[in-house]
Amino acid sequence: MDTQDQINAFKEFLLGEYEPMILEKARVGDNVIPIDFKKLTEFDISLSEDLLDNPEEVIKAAEIALEQFDLPGDIRKFNVRFKNLPESQRILIRDIRSKHIGRLLSIDGVVRQKTDVRPQVTASRYECPSCGNVIPVLQLDQKLKEPTRCGCGRKGKFKLLSKELVDAQSLTLEEAAEDLEGGEQPKRMKVFLKDDLVSPLSEKRTNPGTKIKVNGFVKEIPIVLKTGGQSTRFDLMIEANYVESTNEEFDEIKITKEEEERIKEIASDPNVIELMVGSVAPSIYGHEKIKEALLIQLLGGVKKEREDGGKNRGDMHVLLIGDPGAGKSQLLKRIDIIAPKSRFVSGKGASGAGLTATVVKDEFMGGWALEAGALVLAHRGMICIDELDKMTKEDTSAMHEALEGQTVTISKANIQATLRCQTTVLAAANPKFGRFDPYSKTIAEQIELPTTLINRFDLIFAVKDLPDPVKDERLARFVLGLHQDEESVTPEIETDLLRKTIAFLKKQRPVLTKGAIDEIVEYYLKMRGSGQQEGSVKSIPISARQLEGLVRMAEAYAKMRMSPKVSKRDAKKSVDILDYCLKQIAFDEETGTIDIDRIATGVTTSARSKIVNLKGIIQNLEEKVGKNIPIEDIMEAAAEIGMEEEEVEDGLEKLKRSGDIFEPKRGFISRI
């Protein structure tokens, strides 16, 4: 088909199929015409084949055909975009070769990097100083091109009269993890966007971390050597014609009318909790309380933004600490499947920069570019972090701001940025020595994670694997039954419907009632008042952080019932689950009370009160015996107030480490 035939064919096709849309778009001033490739194939198969082989020429013919229409408004140039390409044109980034140059292809992947939008010259007009002749030049390369010569014989030194500019931007697209096999490294490709593809609305859809599908043609880019010459090797790039986001967020999941009815039916079931908990991880035996916690974590609380700029996060964070082989990783993997937008990372394979954000040198456009990490990419979704204890202290400290403030602030190179990361975190870790020690005093002492990080988790569960003949037999029969028949366990709500149910229920915004507030306040006051007076220090059983956690959990329980109000029953359930966690983790055996300091600061209140008493003894003895105080005297004075020898030695060691005392000679100590 020659060019004129193509123009005529497009005129006929557009008049027949798209005339109302073209007139409406011209009237409102929108210059983008999306064309369905399937309709074009039905109209003229040879024209659609030409489009796949020579896209630039055919798209130009379509644009010329549109220019010849008598349209309202002042738009003269339309951009034609082709969507719905056949499956045969879909190709993996790793499979693009030189034979594909100039052809129309469809690729998909995850946006890793994105440059700023900058103007680019598409055409320019030059004037010849000798004869005044005006020479138009199309700018197709990266380098600005001047006319080589004029009709009057002049070469070079032409005057630039005007230039046409369009907005341009480049993305780095990386293959999605699900398209890879084995140890393959994901390949990357530069994608060039211009004009309407970089409009503010389109730009939102191509933020780093989003999955997109790009229809475009492959172009080669010359590589300039350091010597200034051109390399024999070329780089590849895709000039985009059409971009669509394939990302699924909680609020983007399509739910049919029948599914909505089924979801409402589930929510109105009196046993909705048991029904949904049974479907969270049916192939994992037991752990009902943990599964319930993970379910309310998926639903989350209600995010609140006040007029003074203050925010209360609605996302809950859960930490599972337990023995190896107790099914923690399996639970994480299952939640990764259920959550509509989710990422999974593991211990040593994740760094602080990989979790938050990093600044990299941008080869394509020059300067520096920001690359979002896993926590930012999972914005408004979920991140499952396995083997949290295997990460270094420096890497876990990068998570502090993301967990509480829900932002990631970067100040590196010449980039100062604050990225949003409203991400729900589910983490799993092993105890200090790989397995819980049943003879050790408490679980809290066996958690080898920074106390500041642990304190940011709403719920912490200890997953113990203790021998129990009855339970062990049930577990063994359950696991072996799964091996015997893969279909022996089927969830009551199938996975796809469960994802849609969670997405639908998550949108609810229940409000706290007076009954729910009274229930939470009563529990909070009861716990705060239960701290035993020891010397001069009172134990802190619960802090305001747990209070906010209770509200989030109560809201999640209300969401599960599709209730517009948080009832007293919802508050009672959230109190029960928090109490269960605190009794496991923060119980101080010495005082018989729950002490949140065990987790929040790493030092229990009873231990802190003993250190305070010890300091008082040292101060009194210094006034009696002088600077050098014999340790024997301290032991005697401590024994009088009921402190054991081991506790005194432990307290003195802590005071030495904190720099309060030192040992000038053996058997004596002095205050600093």
Quickly list DSSP for 597-652.
HHHHTSS-HHHHHHHHHHHHHHHHHHHHH-SSEEHHHHHHHHHHTT--HHHHHHHH
**Alpha-carbon distance 466 to 478, whole Å?**
17
What the block records as the tokens of 282 is 């049916």
Give pLDDT, residue 303: 84
Neighbours of 402 (CB within 10 A): 26
Question: Which phi and psi (to 5°) does residue 183 adopt?
Answer: -90, 20
Q: Which residues contact 54 (CB under 8 A, 6 or more apart)?
A: 102
**Alpha-carbon distance 300 to 251, whole Å?**
14
**Alpha-carbon distance 463 to 475, whole Å?**
15
Give pLDDT, residue 385: 87
Q: Block means of pLDDT (10 residues each) for the chain, length 672 residues?
A: 81 82 80 85 86 85 82 73 86 86 87 79 85 80 78 80 83 78 78 81 71 87 78 85 73 73 82 81 79 87 80 84 80 83 80 77 65 79 85 79 82 78 86 71 69 80 78 80 73 80 84 89 81 44 78 89 87 88 68 57 61 82 82 84 80 80 83 80
State the DSSP H helix or E strand holding residue 579, giving kind and residue range, or none if neither: helix 568-585
Neighbours of 92 (CB within 10 A): 14
Q: Is 510 helix (H, G, I), strand (E, B) or coil?
A: coil
Of 85, 74, 44, the closest CA to residue 62 belongs to 44
Listed in order, strand segments (DSSP E) in 464-579 are 511-512, 533-534, 537-538, 565-566
Of 467, 462, 383, the closest CA to residue 430 belongs to 462
CA distances, 657 to each of 183, 613, 669 (Å)? 47, 17, 13
Residue tagged 């949003």 (tokens): 420
For each of the domains in the chain, give its residue range(s) and CATH number, in order of start.
Answer: 3-84 (3.30.1640.10), 88-247 (2.40.50.140), 257-585 (3.40.50.300), 605-671 (1.10.10.10)
**Alpha-carbon distance 672 to 667, whole Å?**
17
**Alpha-carbon distance 462 to 268, whole Å?**
32
Give pLDDT, residue 252: 58
Neighbours of 220 (CB within 10 A): 13
Our measurement of the distance from residue 185's CA atom to the centroid of its chain's CA atoms, rounded to an integer in Å, reads: 21
CA distances, 448 to each of 351, 396, 437, 461 (Å)? 18, 12, 13, 14
